Structures are given as C-alpha cells and as structure tokens.
Amino acid sequence: MLKLPFFNRKNYILLKCYTKVHTIAHYSPIVLSAKTESEVVKNNPNHALKRCYGHILGLKNSITIRSWSEFTVSVTEETANYTFPEDNPSDVKFHNDEDSPAKDAMVSKLISPWVISTESDCKFVMASHMLNATGMIIPSGIVNYNTQHQTNIFNYVRKVPHTYTVPFKTPLVMIYPISDKKIQLEVYQDLPTYDALVAKGSYRPYL
C-alpha cells in the first residue's frame, strides 16, 4: 500500500505564555529574542557580533523573559535583600540547605509572573541571557513546558558585600528549544489559565 507523507505536521513549536498582570503583559511581555538585540550591535553593521553565528542563531530561535520590574539586590556576608517598587511587588524565596549550606553563595529564586504551556513534548534550555550584565548569576536548566509551566529564575548571590540594580525590561533569561523547529509565540493576560497552570505544579519524573 502506498504511504503518503503527512503534510499537516507542524514544523514549528507554539508556546503560549500567560500572566495575570495586565501591565506586565503590555509593557514587558515575553518576546522572541531577536527583539532584544543590543542597540549597540543593531546600529553598527560592522559589529563583530553581526558575524558571530552563535549570537545570530541564539537570537533567531529563542524567547526572552525580561525583568518585569526594576529591583535592587543588597548583600552582606550573611544576608541578601531584594527591594521592589511598592506598586510592583514580587516574591523571592531562598533555598539554602541548613545541613549543607553553600559556602560562597546564597541561592535565591525570583518568582516569575509568567507561566508557559505547549502541546509539544520538546525540551528547552533555560539560560542566562547573553545581554544579562546585571550582577545576577543565573544557572542553566532543562524544562519541558508540556508538563512544567512555571518560569521562576534562580539567582546565586555571592556572600560578599555588594549592591546592584536590575533595570526594568532587562533581558534575564533566554529559552532555547532542543530542536530545529522554529518557535511561534502567543502572549496572554489570562488569570484563570494562569492560576490553573500554577495549580498543576511541576511534574518531576526523576524525583
């Protein structure tokens, strides 16, 4: 029997991004990373990064989560404090193991206002953005937005006195598909869907 090719198979990955906050959806949405290229590079046709294949490919097929608020991180040798504007509060949790505390850093988790959903079973690499020069030390990880929807951002805070400020709309993380398929992106302010995806929690098949 003659088998015909399946022409309707999607050649892209659709990511649906949800937040419950209208101002974040409007002013600092998740975007395709090509929209975050540095103005210095964008306005200089002879810039070396214009010829860097890794830079070009990284921007071409990934998405970016930007800071949804300005915030300041103030650190002593023992404590770290995040300060947000009163009209745009955010939550931060610390994951320090009392039995085996990190020697040189405190592990903090910035609670993101975004969740992501997809029908694809593709896995994604979540890594510090190539334009992140804020002082945040963001570790990389692998996620599957078919079963894991939250996009919280870990930040290693060095145990030395210092202070840094992260401006509004700073690119924080890039999310790359482990696939050659292109990404299509849809962004919504949708409280019921956001709450439903948060309530599902994270599927952890390896624990």
pLDDT tens-digit readout, 168-180: 999 999 999 999 8
Tens digit of each residue's pLDDT, the chain (207 residues): 555 555 546 789 999 999 999 999 999 999 999 888 776 677 677 777 777 777 777 888 899 999 999 999 999 988 899 999 987 778 999 987 665 567 788 999 999 999 999 999 999 999 999 888 888 999 999 999 999 999 999 999 999 999 999 999 999 999 999 998 999 999 999 999 999 999 987 655 544
Rounded distance, CA 200 to CA 207, Å? 17
Percent of the chain with pLDDT over 90: 63
* Contact in structure between 67 and 85 (CB atoms under 8 Å): no
What are the respective helix, strand and coil percentages of the chain, to the nearest 5? 15, 35, 45
**Order of all β-strands in the sheet with 92-94:** 92-94, 105-110, 153-158
Give the H or E element holding residue 196. Answer: helix 191-200
CA dihedral 125, 94, 156, 202 (to 10 degrees): -10
**Pair 177, 61: CB distance under 8 Å:** yes
CA 129 to chain centroid, in Å, comes to 8
